[in-house]
């Protein structure tokens, strides 16, 4: 494998050959070492972006403007992290996902497929954002929550979740109409609708109802914005 860049005295990457949209001699962003940016694929760090610690950018991912990727974070696939975004901890951003503006992705969170996270949004703990989902403005997705499909989470909303013993995740979403909802898989129910769906005939109805009870209690303790 021919190395595609070197690191100059300022800690910036300098392209040694043409690849993707990068030309030989182009000066990119900052790294701590070659482990931060792969020599394979068209991945690149542009402008004043910084990738450090044990973080890795690889495949065709792009990190640019004033973005930061650090800790053990991974950015790969066709993913883009830019503007003032931050990705750190064990977080992963991959496939065609984009994280930008002032958004943060951290902890064990993952953003993937065609998802977008922007504004002042935070994705953290074990949260997942995927599909065509968008999380923006001051929204937060945390704990074991999953936001997927075509869902939009915005304003001051906070989405959090509880995972059943079979791995099925229930996410609580405060809603402005007062009928707060649960996202579970492809389902989007009010609490009464959820109780009816997972009724006494369901093999895990007791556990499911206990989870729904817990989400209702959390909603009272964690009074957050609505979507």
Listing DSSP states for 172-202 in one string gives EE--TTS--EEEETTEEEEHHHHHHHT-TTS
| Confidence at residue 227, expressed as pLDDT on a 0 to 100 scale | 38
| Confidence at residue 224, expressed as pLDDT on a 0 to 100 scale | 47
| Confidence at residue 226, expressed as pLDDT on a 0 to 100 scale | 35
Yes or no: say if 125 and 106 are a contact pair by the CB < 8 Å rule.
Answer: no
Structure tokens at 195: 């109780």
| Confidence at residue 223, expressed as pLDDT on a 0 to 100 scale | 44
| Confidence at residue 151, expressed as pLDDT on a 0 to 100 scale | 81
Q: Which helix (H) or strand (E) holds 56?
A: strand 56-57
Count the alpha carbons within 13 Å of 87 in the hemisphere toward its beta carbon.
Answer: 37
Three-class DSSP category at 204: coil
Phi and psi angles of residue 156, each rounded to the nearest 5 degrees, phi first: -105, 20
| Confidence at residue 176, expressed as pLDDT on a 0 to 100 scale | 61
| Confidence at residue 97, expressed as pLDDT on a 0 to 100 scale | 98
For every one of its 227 residues, what pLDDT tens digit does the chain have, with 9 covering 90 and above? 689 999 999 999 999 999 999 999 999 999 999 999 999 999 999 999 999 999 999 999 999 999 999 999 999 999 999 999 999 999 999 999 999 999 999 999 999 999 999 999 999 999 999 999 999 999 999 888 888 888 888 888 778 778 888 888 888 776 666 677 787 776 778 888 989 999 888 889 999 999 888 887 766 655 444 33
| Confidence at residue 152, expressed as pLDDT on a 0 to 100 scale | 85
Yes or no: say if 156 and 166 are a contact pair by the CB < 8 Å rule.
Answer: no
| 217/134 Cα distance (integer angstroms) | 26
Yes or no: say if 65 and 48 are a contact pair by the CB < 8 Å rule.
Answer: yes
Structure tokens at 41: 């694929």
Whole-model pTM: value is 0.82
Of 163, 157, 167, the C-alpha closest to 143 is: 163
């Amino acid at each position: 494998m021919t190395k595609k860049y070197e690191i100059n005295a300022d800690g910036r990457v300098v392209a040694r050959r043409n690849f993707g949209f990068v030309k030989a001699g182009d000066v990119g962003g900052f790294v701590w070492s070659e482990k931060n940016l792969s020599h394979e694929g068209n991945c690149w760090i542009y402008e004043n972006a910084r990738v450090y610690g044990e973080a890795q950018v690889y495949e065709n991912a792009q990190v640019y403007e004033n973005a930061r990727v650090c800790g053990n974070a991974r950015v790969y696939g066709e993913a883009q992290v830019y503007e003032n975004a931050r990705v750190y901890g064990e977080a992963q951003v991959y496939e065609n996902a984009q994280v930008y503006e002032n958004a943060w992705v951290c902890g064990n969170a993952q953003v993937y497929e065609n998802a977008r996270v922007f504004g002042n949004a935070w994705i953290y703990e074990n949260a997942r954002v995927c599909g065509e989902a968008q999380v923006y403005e001051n929204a937060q997705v945390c704990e074991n929550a999953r936001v997927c499909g075509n869902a939009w989470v915005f304003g001051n909303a906070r989405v959090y979740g509880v995972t059943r013993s079979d791995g099925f995740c229930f996410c609580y979403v405060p809603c402005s109409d007062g009928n707060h909802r649960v996202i579970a898989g492809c389902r989007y129910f009010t609490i009464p609708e959820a109780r009816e769906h997972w009724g006494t005939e369901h093999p895990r109805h007791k556990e499911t109802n206990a989870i729904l009870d817990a989400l209702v209690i959390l909603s009272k303790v964690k009074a957050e914005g609505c979507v």
